[in-house]
Structures are given as structure tokens and as C-alpha cells.
Structure 1
Amino acid sequence: MSPLANLGRTVAVLAGLLLVATVALAQPQPTDAQRQAATEVAESLRYGHYADVDLDDAWSRRAFERYLDILDGQRAFLLEEDVEEFRHLEESLDDALLDGDLDGFFTLYQRYHERAEARFEWLLARLDEGLDFDYDGRQRLELEREDAPWAQDMADLDDLWAKRLKNAALTLAISDQDEEQVETNLRQRYEGQLSRLRQTNADDVFGLLMAAATGSVDPHSEYLSPRQGESFDIQMRLSLEGIGALLQADGEYVKVASLVPGGPADRAGVLEPADRIVAVGQEDGEMVNVVGMRLDDVVDLIRGPKGSVVRLDVVPAQAVDMTRSKVVEITRDTVKLEDQAAHGEVIELERDDGPHRVGVIEVPTFYVDFDAWQAGDEDYRSTTRDVANEIERLKAKDIEGIVLDLRNNGGGALQEANSLIGLFIDRGPTVQVRDARGRISLYGDTDTGTVYDGPLVVLVNRLSASASEIFAGAIQDYGRGLVVGTSTFGKGTVQTLNELSHGEIKLTRAKFYRISGESTQHRGVEPDIIFPSLIDPELIGESSLDNALDWDTVRSVQYREYGEPWRYLENLKDRHRRRAEEHPNFRYLEQQAALNRQLREENTSVSLNREQRQREVESQEAEQLALENQRREALGLEPLEEWVDARGEESDEEEEEEPVEQVQVQEAAQILLDYAQLDDSFRFANRD
């Protein structure tokens, strides 16, 4: 199961992060079915979870604070007096779940609901008075308020929301909307949020409370309501007709967590991880603002019949201001096995001693056609079978080595990770799995012989996870090849899905360990040679998730070392550095990654002065544009006039012989050739 799929479902339960929650006319009350399910969730956490979970007062305090964060993570609705009034619940969640006594926590939710409902009515009343903002002065709006103190009184919240409303209006005004359009868009936004707030039912409130309980233990354990369980099953069957993107809540916004390999969004090339979706439209229909909308409602808007077109208003991950959005179109489709199949190619490199040929095999996911396999079909498709065929095809073309590209591979079937390793080693252990009782199971390749013995490089990035990390870690431990790229995701846990009397629970039951004894959890796999990356590890990866389980070790197992690539690392790194310093795309990646970090650290607030805001945005985008055009000039491409055009059909990327992402493949191939040149043992490898 893909860890990014797990991530997407986890945050779906947390979709009530800011504005998701409540009911209109009557206070929701927990049902008998929910009370029973709460007890089952508590027992599951206490007796079934991998970690040693004590449902005590300390755990209750953590879960209570998480519940507050889920309800009002930006400290924008509740007052300090509200929180203190319910502080008596702080150490009682353990008993409440075990006894099914949920009333106090539903009442706390109702207080949040009352505050939120009154706040949206307040915003709509302000709009009724007309927008008459003065965009002068020196006011600024703090963007991240997770650690802000609770407001002392309503005057404090009125001041905060006056700034928020002013910022929302300024953001739209800078996007060239007139005053009437600004008012219309804001009214639709707040009316929509108020309407959804009033539609919340007891299942929604129960889901938020269970999210606090499970999320305080680890980010991949979660309660699924009957509706969410059905959606999860559809997703796991890959029969969902949509765009093939996993989404997560990010404050008021919906963010792209990852793209399904081979899916419509992946093929279209118009979305990237950490992009934010601010509006959704159907075909030529009106765009619906989704800022503040609950995650599952946004997903419902994006889903649709195969062949239909959905339009998304997207703010790129690297954008410094929410005004810099762009509408993209994606044709909905189903994700098919053949779209995710491994495929190879030969790339040619010119070096001082002449041309060289390297095979590159891209593995988007670890898959197996279970239906065909169970039916006894001898020609069933799987990652291992497809890669073996590609290896034979590439060897026939006289390649000098293979780069296995696992970038963006979020995992999949564990059996395929084991058998794929077996193509490159002659039997041996591949991964250790420890369960909640401390028992360790050893998995490995039992087939004699190899398919490929030559030089091997594994290319990974931050979105390489789970089974990808098992494969890369084993290749590294065996000394069978080099791992290059960026640190991987760090998802080293195993979940199982169990039915409850009402809904289901996805529970972390085990943990992966490399044959060296090191866990892949939290830290991931550290490459032998590091490449720069535009994916921010502060935003994407296991270490970015709350309450992620820690990294640790178990005993190593006995295994044979096939090589000693670490003997050549300093030499290989030196050669890599020299090439990277001379290559425009590598220089761009390093400089852009550094600039992104700088902007993220600097942009903790925004100016509410129109001229100052525009100067800040223009200055920051000028830096980004200068980097992009420096790269393009070095590659002989036409410069861009606007930084936002660096992605999409206006960017002339299709004219580029070697786009940014391809330079990593090219450099991985160069490292492979260096490695083959330095290690004499490959001269005797079987190339037949």
C-alpha cells in the first residue's frame, strides 16, 4: 500500500482543520454505534498498535491538544475562556473512549461551532456594509498561528478577522478583480463555508474526535467512517475516475500531497507536490472557490466521469503569494496497470573517450496483477517481470550499466520489492519486519541466480517511499550499487485495515528494518551522493508529519556484500561536483532550492499595504525569474517574461532537450560510468 495513499487518507480525516465542522439547528449527539466504536478504537490502540500505547492521563493531554488543533488550529475562533471552560476534559479522553462517554467532547465541538457560525455571519455582515478598505499603512497579517495564544476576548478576534478579510480582499484585488468581483467572490466563499458548517452531523464530529485520538499516536493510524471506508476501498482498487492526485488539508487550503504514477495529472504535467488548489470548475462551468472547504468535498468536486475535463485554479508550491495562481485543465481518467508499468530506454552520453550507452528503467510503483496471478495466468504482469524483460532488452543494446529510477515511487506490493532485489543478487535477505510483540520476520529472495550483474545506480527522491526505500536500502547494504538523489520519504511502518462495529480502523501494526538493522522510518534512505531538490522536506515526508514514529535499529542479519562502492565515494563525489558546477540545470536546482528555503523562512506574514505587498511579491518573483532565465540562457532557450510562466504550456519546456528533472537521470548515468570505470570487478560481470 502506498504510504502517500495512507497520507492522503490520514489527512482526509483531518480535513476539519479549520472550517469543517458543525451542525445547524441542533447540537449533534453521539449515537450508540459511535459510543461502541469509540471503545473499539481505544482497545485497538491499546492492544493492537505497534507502539506501546498507554491510554493514560499523559496520552489524554496530547490527544486533547490535538483535538483543539483539529477544531481551531489557527486560533481564530475559540477564546481562551472557551478552552479553559473545557480544560477539565484534558485528562479524561482515555476514560471517555473506553466508557463510550463522548458527550463532553461533543459539547466542546458545539462551542467551536457556535463561535465559527457567528464569525461567518460577522464576515457576511461586513460584506453587506460594503468593502471600504484603506490599503495604506503598515499593517501586516501573521500567516501561521499554530503557536499563537488563544484570544482574550472577542475584540482580539474581531481585529484578527478584520485583517483576514482585508487580506482576502487585497489578494483578489491584486489579481485584477474589480470591487464588485471581489465582494462576490468573498461572499460566495463565506456563504459556502457557513453552509458546510451547518451541514455537519454527528459522524463528522465523531470523525474529528477519533482523528485526535489516533493521530496522537502516529500519522498513519486513523478511524474511517463508513463513507470514508468506501472511498478508501475505491482508491485502493485504482478504479477511481478522477485526476490521480492525492490531496491533503493545509490550513484553509487543499494541497497536492503526491501524484499517482501514470495518472491523468501525472501525464498532464501541470501539478506538482505542495501545489495548492484554490478553485475547481467543471468543463466550461463556473469556478467554485474551495478555500476553507472540507477536503472530502473538494475531492468530490474533482472526481467525475472518465473523459470529462476538470479545471483547477492552482497556486504553485514555489509561489510567494496566493495571488499568483494559474488555471490548468486535466482530463479525468482511470489509472490502469499499463500506465504504471516499468519501462526502459537507452541514453547516450558523450565523454572524453567517446560515446557511451546507459540503460534507464523507470519504476513508477511496485505492482502485481493479483487477479491474473490468482487465476493461474502464467503471463501475469508484475514489476519484477516487467523489469526483468526490460533488462534483457537493454542488455541486447550493449549498455554499460543500468540506472533504476525510483523517483516518485510511493511503494506498493512488498513481495515485488523482495523479488525485484532478487534480479540483482543471488539469494539473500531483503527486509526485516518487527511486529507489536517484538517478533521479527525476515523476508528475502529465494531464487538462485541474477538477471543483471553489471554496474547499478538507484535514483531516488523525497517521494520514494515504503517498498522503494526497502529496495534502495537493500542495494546499498549489499554494496550492489550506488544510491543517488535526495533523502527518501521515511515511511517505514505497516498498516492493516480492520472492521469495527461502525466504520473501520487503519492501524500501524509493524515496522520495516533494513538487513543492516536500521529502520527506514522517519529518516528514510540517505543517498550515497546527494542531489539538490525542489521538494521541501519541511513540507513533504514522514519527518514533516505530527507524531511520526521514531527511527531505531534492530540486530543486523548475515548477508553477503557484493561490492564496496563506498571505497570510491570521495572520487565519485568530486567528479559529480565538477559536473554539477558546470551544468545550468544543476546550478538552478541548487540555487532555487536555497531561495525557496529563504522565502519560506522570511514569509511568515504579509503586508496589507497594497504598494508594499506588490513590491514584496515583485521583488521575490524577480529573484525566481532571474534564476530561471539564467538557466534558460545557458541552455539556449528563450527567456520568460513572467515567473509564473515557468510551468505550463507557455514555458516552451517542450522545446527543451534536457528539462530540469531529466538532468538528474543524466547525472546518475554519468556517476554510473565513473563507478564502472573505477571498479575493475565490472569488467568481468556477465553482460549476456
Structure 2
Amino acid sequence: MKTLKGAQLLLSGVFVIAGFTVNAQVPAGTEYRSAVITAAINKVTKKHYHPKPIDDAYSAAVWNRFLHTLDPNSNLFLQEDVTALAVYKNQVDDQLNSGATTFFDAAYAIYEQRAGEAGRLCQKILATPFDLKKKETVMAWRKDLPFCASKQEQEELWRKLLKYYTLRHYMEMSAAKGDTAKHLAAVDPVLEAKAREKVRKWYSDYFRQTTGQRGADDKFAQYVSAAMFEIDPHTTYAAPQDRLMNEQLNKRYYGLGIELGTKESDYYIKRLLPGGTAYRSGQVKENDNIIAVADSKGEMLPVNGLPANEVTGLIRGEKGTAVTMKLQQPGEKERTVTIKRDEVIDQENRAKSAVIEKNGKRFGYIFLPLFYMDPTGTKINGSANDVAREVEKLKEQEVDGIVVDLRGNAGGSLDEVVTMGYCFVPAGPITWLRGKDSIRMYSSPAVEPLYDGPLTVLVDESSASASEIFAAAMQDRGRGIIVGTSSSFGKGTAQMNINIGKMGNPEKGIADVNYGSMRLTTEKFYRINGSSTQLKGVIPDIVLQDRMELQSIMEKDFSSALTCDTVGLPPYQRLTFGFNYQEVVQHARIRVRQNPAFATIAANTRQLKTLQEQPTPLDLLSFGAAYQQISGCQKNIQQAKELKGKEVLTVQPSMLRNINPARQKNDAVNTASYKEWLEKLGKDIYLAETLSVLEDMLANPVAP
């Protein structure tokens, strides 16, 4: 087996096009920004697996992406602005190669001017009530629509958009009061004023945050990210102090142990993690609104309207340091609390398991949301060993089969997914990785597999990278049946984190300069049969639905994605199924086709897509009808996804039999969130069908 040393290869489908926020003071000015661009392009040129030519075609793509990053809804720039900036369309490549920032400077100057104008326009429009009886329509999501030709057209567009957002808040508030019908019958001026004020406050905060020096720094980071994204969707740039990537993989950070919730531009305490310092302090309550958080200078910074990762950055910090927050329970006075940060190990999103009873059989279920690493470097508490521990629990429970659920698992560490192979397959190939100059095989450890019984792997359209490696290996080696959406995400590339900057000289008093970091695509991985999962993903043996979420995005949705190809690889040994594969798959396809719940989900998803692509009416009665129709579709989908009555599965915690349950009272299985998780599993229609597949595998054995 190839052993990974030094920097970990990352197989993650998580990426952000323009969401990197500067969490520290980044030196402003052309010289610093030029150095960042030069360093980033240099890394791409030298280390990227298959860098695109930095030419006019690439230039036009970056130009277009950055403009739509600045103005994703085509409501800030005028067509004359875009025409003026068109002079740079074929110059961006030359500027990137030379480290020039001319296009960025010109685009941001116009953006800042238009944002200021839009901010003032919003305040003007929102100062007076809307005529909610006037019949008119608007396309609320304008991603592919043209920019406005004149300021008059733009002002009319903003009026309609702000009216749309006000109507949406109006409906949400009336629904919260439980008297929607009353508020649709006649306009409630008090409710309209409250809804309009929420929109006014949101835009006031938004435009305040998006301009000025910090706004310019944020937008520059987005410009570099846009340039990297056009190399490929997973080559990204992060400004200095963006720690999110490593924290996601390590599942470990220093903070207060709170889970944030958002409502429009407001933040609140959604949940307190047991054992966290916030929980232990007794000063913080669930549903507390977070009004402000002290910054590095000790000044209270209002968080309304701030990006989520910036709020998180204010709360997290070094172990033992303190964070001061201004909190407010609904209906109570504001209060200020100061709490010390301590280590928070994220247990909620680590591997966990359960035992599910169905028709007299007992099945094991393993949930793995990410192939995370052990932060200590010992690999004892990485995802591979965590899964192994869950497998041992399930074996002690004498389960008849196991489901490995990788839905929503965006990938993670290559080392972990390769090591995890020993849980289910004998020593042998798991994947191949191809760099610029070589291709290498990665094999599961040379030990007996922990479990050799019936196995299914559940995936969806968000299962990416390392998830696809695992699912593909189980499919290619004949180890189990893959169940899920029409394909997985389709990311067949591997990335490496690289810091960029300059080393200083302490003896001469020259400080280090941090230009941020990059996630750089350095390799492609291949299934052991030689084909790539790039773009096409892993196609399940049994397809339940096309996609499980209407708004999901896959690799094939990105124009800058690398191509799919194949390589010639040595033969490998395929295992023999102990069941009649064709019978099991055929039975499942018939069940899915005849299940009214799947038909309901598909029909409502199609209807919801149609409704969301139509212009939205802006008179109260029509808007309310459309709003209720959309809500009805969403409700129908949610209800269809949940088992009811006698169909609900019996789900129990998985625990080691050789340990007294009383001694496990502080274990994660006894937390409220774990119990909620078990209840949710019991109603999962996709899981129920996957268990039916396991039942068929048991009911249709073949002679050895």
C-alpha cells in the first residue's frame, strides 16, 4: 500500500467560488495584491495536475465569473459598466501573468460606486409602504438575465425586488402568527411595515459591510478565487487566517461549543454542545440572539449582516483566550457575557452507528459525513478507525447486514478512505492516483476484513471524491451493492493545501509575509477498473431518484471541470457475490417504480422547479397563492420522504455488549441530539429501501 507522508491529499467536494472572507488585517495596496496574484499563478503553473493555458479564452472566463461574483443577481451593474469593463476581457490573462491588478481595480471602483447608489436607493424605496394590490411580476433570481440598460430601469427592478423580499417576510410573519388567511384577505399595514423594516435593515448592513477597505480586501480574495476556479472548480484561494478547511477535516477547533443558526442576517445560538465552555458557564442559552462579538481590539462588533465564517472566526480563537459577546433572549434585555475558549471536538459529525430492526432482521447502519483526519497525527481517531469501532459494535450486535451511508459526504482525506477499506474488503487495490509524471496504486491494509457479510452503500448527488473512491471500490470488487441517486457528485480529482507567502529574516528584522493559502488540484484518481469518476460519478446499482435535493450542484454543472478519461491498469481480483445480484436489483427496481412516495417526490420536485423558474407575482393575493403552492410542494416532498405509522423503523443505539450500559451514560449515544438522530433515521424512506435491498440479498443466496 502506498503510504501518505507529509501533506495530506484532500479528496473533498466542498468548495467555495467567492466565499472566502478575510479574517485578519490583510495589507492593502497594489504591491501586496500583485504579489498574491503572482504567487498563486506560479503555484498553478508549476504544481497543478493539468493547468489551463492562461490565454484569451481563460481571460474571458475569469472576466465573466468575477463580474457575476460581484453582481450575481445582475442588479448592481448597468450595461454601460459592463461595456466599459469589456476592454479588459482579453487582458486579464496578461495581467494575471504579470501580477497586475488593473481589471480588479477598475471593476471594484465601479462596483463600489454602484453599491453606494444601490444602498441609498434601497433606503429611499423602503421608506414608504408598497402597494401590495398592484398586479406586476418580477424574476427574483436573475443569474442569467441581462444587466439593466439605464438607471430608470434599474430603479424599477430594485423596487420590484424589494417588494418581493418584503412580501416574502410578510408571508413568513403571517404564517408564524398562524393567521395567513386573514393577512391575505386584506393588507395588514403593521405587518407590511415590519416586513419592510427587516428588508431595510438587511440591505443597510449588507452595503455597509461590502464596501470600504474591508470590502475591497474581501472582493480581491474573491477575484483570486474566481481566477483559480476557472483553472478547475476545486483549485481555490483562501485569504490569510481562513482556518475552515483544516477544521472541517480535523473535526477539532478551539471555541465555545455552540452551534450557530441564522435567520436572514441575524445569528442565534441554535444549540449548545454538551461539555463546551458555553454550556458549562451557564451564561449562554439556546435561542440567544447574538447582537455583537468583541473583535481583536476588544471593540464590540455588530454581527448582523456579517458573513457566517467571519462570525465564526470572531468566536473561535486560541485555547484559553476569552471571547465577549452581547446576547439577547427574545423579549428580554441585552446582556454581555465573557467566556474562555477551549478545545471543541466535533462529535456530532463523526462516524456513528445504530441497529435497525426490520421484518425480524437486525441491520447495522453507519453514518459517515466526512473522511476526516485525526488532528494529533496518530491516526487513532481518524474516520477509518472510528468506522472500524462502529463495525465492531455492530458485529457484537450480530447484525444481518450493514448500510454505510455516505449521503452528503463531500470527501476528505485519501489516507482515511484507503485505510477504511480493511473494514470490508481483503487486501487489494482501492484506487489509483495519477500525477503529472506517474501513477500509483493505493491498497487497503494487508489484514483480514473486519466484516464480510451483506453490505450496501447509500450515496446521493453530494457524495464526492473520497466517498466516490469507497463506493467505486466496493462496486468494482464485487463487495456490495450501491444504492442512491442517478450518480454521485462526479469529482475525480485530488487536492493539496499549500501556503503561499515569503519567508522573512528575523536577524535583519524582516517579517514573514502571508499571502494566504491554496487548495491545488495535483492529481486525478481512477477506479481500479481504469475508468474515472470525474464528471460521471459512481452510478449506483439501484437508483432511487435522479437527485435528492432540487438545488443540488454536481461536477458536471461547472464549465471549468476537468475532463473524464480512462487509463490502462493491471487486472484485480473481484469477489463473488453470495446472492443473486440480478434478482436483488430487479426486485428493487420494481419496488422503487411502484412506490407512490418516490413518485410523489419526483412530481412535486418537477412542479417546484417549474414554479421557481416563473416570474413571481407581486400583488398580495397572487403572491400568497404562489407562496402557498411552493410551500405545499416542499411540504409534500418532506412528508413523502418520511415513513409513517407501522412503516417507521425500529432504531436503537449500537453499544458494546461487554460494557455495562450504565457505564456508558455519558457516551454520545445518550445525548439529545443522538436520540433525535435515531428518530429521524426511523422515518427515512431511502434508508428503508436500502434495508429492503439487504433483505433481498439474504433471501436470494447462491451456492458457493
TM above 0.5: yes
Aligned counterpart, 2:19: 12
Given candidates 196, 200, 208, the residue that maps to 1:195 is: 208
SS at match of 2:130: coil
Aligned counterpart, 1:433: 433
Cα distance in 2 for residues equivalent to 1:303 and 1:544: 34
Which residue identity is paired with 2:600? Answer: Q
Deviates most, 513-522 or 614-623: 614-623
SS at match of 1:404: strand
Deviations 1:23-45 (A, max 9, x none): xxxxx974312212211222222
Cα distance in 2 for residues equivalent to 1:578 and 1:364: 30
| CA distance 1:58–1:515, shift in 2 (3 Å) | same
Write out aligned runs for 1:453-472 (5 A). Answer: 453-472=452-471
Deviations 1:533-574 (A, max 9, x none): 7732652333344523233222233100102589623x2234
Write out aligned runs for 1:288-687 (5 A). Answer: 294=307, 296-297=309-310, 299=312, 336=345, 339-350=348-359, 355-369=360-374, 371=376, 373=378, 380-435=380-435, 437-486=436-485, 487-501=487-501, 502-532=515-545, 535-536=548-549, 538-545=551-558, 547-563=560-576, 568-569=581-582, 571-577=583-589, 579-580=591-592, 587-604=596-613, 605-625=615-635, 635=645, 662-681=684-703
| CA distance 1:179–1:361, shift in 2 (3 Å) | closer
**Are positions 1:101 and 2:111 aligned together?**
no
CA offset at residue 303 of structure 1?
Answer: 6.5
Aligned counterpart, 2:654: none
| CA distance 1:535–1:546, shift in 2 (3 Å) | farther
Aligned counterpart, 2:89: 90
| CA distance 1:236–1:101, shift in 2 (3 Å) | same
Cα distance in 2 for residues equivalent to 1:654 and 1:498: 39
SS at match of 2:496: strand
CA offset at residue 211 of structure 1?
Answer: 1.9
| CA distance 1:427–1:285, shift in 2 (3 Å) | closer
CA offset at residue 81 of structure 1?
Answer: 1.6
Cα distance in 2 for residues equivalent to 1:398 and 1:231: 39
SS at match of 2:684: helix
- Aligned residue pairs total 601
Write out aligned runs for 1:56-135 (5 A). Answer: 56-127=55-126, 130-135=127-132
CA offset at residue 298 of structure 1?
Answer: 5.5
Cα distance in 1 for residues equivalent to 2:222 and 2:402: 48
CA offset at residue 102 of structure 1?
Answer: 1.2
Cα distance in 1 for residues equivalent to 2:97 and 2:642: 62
Which 5+ residue runs of structure 1 have no aligned equivalent? 17-27, 257-262, 268-280, 314-331, 375-379, 639-652
CA offset at residue 447 of structure 1?
Answer: 0.5
CA offset at residue 96 of structure 1?
Answer: 0.8
Given candidates 214, 219, 227, the residue that maps to 1:213 is: 227
Cα distance in 2 for residues equivalent to 1:297 and 1:194: 16
Write out aligned runs for 1:241-260 (5 A). Answer: 241=255
Aligned counterpart, 2:664: none
Which residue identity is paired with 2:645? Answer: L
| CA distance 1:87–1:450, shift in 2 (3 Å) | same
CA offset at residue 55 of structure 1?
Answer: 0.6
Deviations 1:205-253 (A, max 9, x none): 421321221111222212222133x4545555421547898999xxx98
Which residue identity is paired with 1:491? Answer: K
Deviations 1:488-538 (A, max 9, x none): 232322111222222222211111111011222232211111123773265
CA offset at residue 478 of structure 1?
Answer: 0.7
Determine if contact 1:282/1:310 at 8 Å carries over to the other structure.
no
SS at match of 2:233: coil
Cα distance in 2 for residues equivalent to 1:676 and 1:666: 15
Deviations 1:421-446 (A, max 9, x none): 233333211101111x2521111124
| CA distance 1:255–1:494, shift in 2 (3 Å) | farther
CA offset at residue 110 of structure 1?
Answer: 0.3
Which residue identity is paired with 2:687? Answer: V
Deviates most, 426-435 or 560-569: 560-569
| CA distance 1:69–1:442, shift in 2 (3 Å) | same
Cα distance in 1 for residues equivalent to 2:302 and 2:590: 48
Aligned counterpart, 1:161: 158
Deviates most, 667-676 or 385-394: 385-394
| CA distance 1:672–1:499, shift in 2 (3 Å) | same
Which residue identity is paired with 2:98? Answer: D
| CA distance 1:155–1:488, shift in 2 (3 Å) | same
Aligned counterpart, 1:642: none
Cα distance in 2 for residues equivalent to 1:45 and 1:507: 7
Determine if contact 2:130/2:163 at 8 Å carries over to the other structure.
yes
Aligned counterpart, 1:136: 133
Aligned counterpart, 2:148: 151
Deviations 1:156-207 (A, max 9, x none): 1111111112222222333346244234323322321232133344433421
Cα distance in 2 for residues equivalent to 1:231 and 1:658: 28
Determine if contact 1:455/1:675 at 8 Å carries over to the other structure.
yes
Which residue identity is paired with 2:125? Answer: R
Deviates most, 671-680 or 134-143: 671-680
Deviations 1:334-375 (A, max 9, x none): 75265455444433332xxxx33333333343345352628x
Cα distance in 1 for residues equivalent to 2:452 and 2:31: 61
Which residue identity is paired with 2:432? Answer: Q
Determine if contact 2:483/2:543 at 8 Å carries over to the other structure.
yes
Cα distance in 1 for residues equivalent to 2:499 and 2:642: 54
| CA distance 1:534–1:125, shift in 2 (3 Å) | same
Which residue identity is paired with 1:407? Answer: R
Deviates most, 620-629 or 135-144: 620-629
Determine if contact 1:481/1:565 at 8 Å carries over to the other structure.
no
Cα distance in 2 for residues equivalent to 1:554 and 1:255: 50
Determine if contact 1:534/1:589 at 8 Å carries over to the other structure.
no
Aligned counterpart, 1:377: none
Aligned counterpart, 1:222: 236
CA offset at residue 90 of structure 1?
Answer: 0.9
Cα distance in 1 for residues equivalent to 2:544 and 2:616: 32
CA offset at residue 576 of structure 1?
Answer: 2.3
CA offset at residue 660 of structure 1?
Answer: 6.6
Which residue identity is paired with 1:207? Answer: A
Determine if contact 2:455/2:481 at 8 Å carries over to the other structure.
yes
Q: TM-score, normalised by structure 2?
A: 0.74
Determine if contact 1:361/1:404 at 8 Å carries over to the other structure.
yes
Which residue identity is paired with 1:592? Answer: I
Deviates most, 540-549 or 601-610: 540-549
Determine if contact 1:6/1:220 at 8 Å carries over to the other structure.
yes
Cα distance in 1 for residues equivalent to 2:59 and 2:477: 44
Determine if contact 2:315/2:323 at 8 Å carries over to the other structure.
no
Aligned counterpart, 2:5: none
Cα distance in 2 for residues equivalent to 1:39 and 1:656: 51
Determine if contact 2:15/2:233 at 8 Å carries over to the other structure.
no
SS at match of 1:407: coil
Cα distance in 2 for residues equivalent to 1:193 and 1:60: 29
Cα distance in 1 for residues equivalent to 2:570 and 2:353: 33
Aligned counterpart, 2:511: none
Cα distance in 1 for residues equivalent to 2:247 and 2:463: 23
Identity percentage over the alignment?
A: 29
Aligned counterpart, 1:324: none
CA offset at residue 114 of structure 1?
Answer: 0.4
Aligned counterpart, 1:22: none
Cα distance in 2 for residues equivalent to 1:537 and 1:560: 39
SS at match of 1:146: coil
Aligned counterpart, 2:178: none
| CA distance 1:109–1:454, shift in 2 (3 Å) | same
Deviations 1:615-639 (A, max 9, x none): 122234345556766888962799x
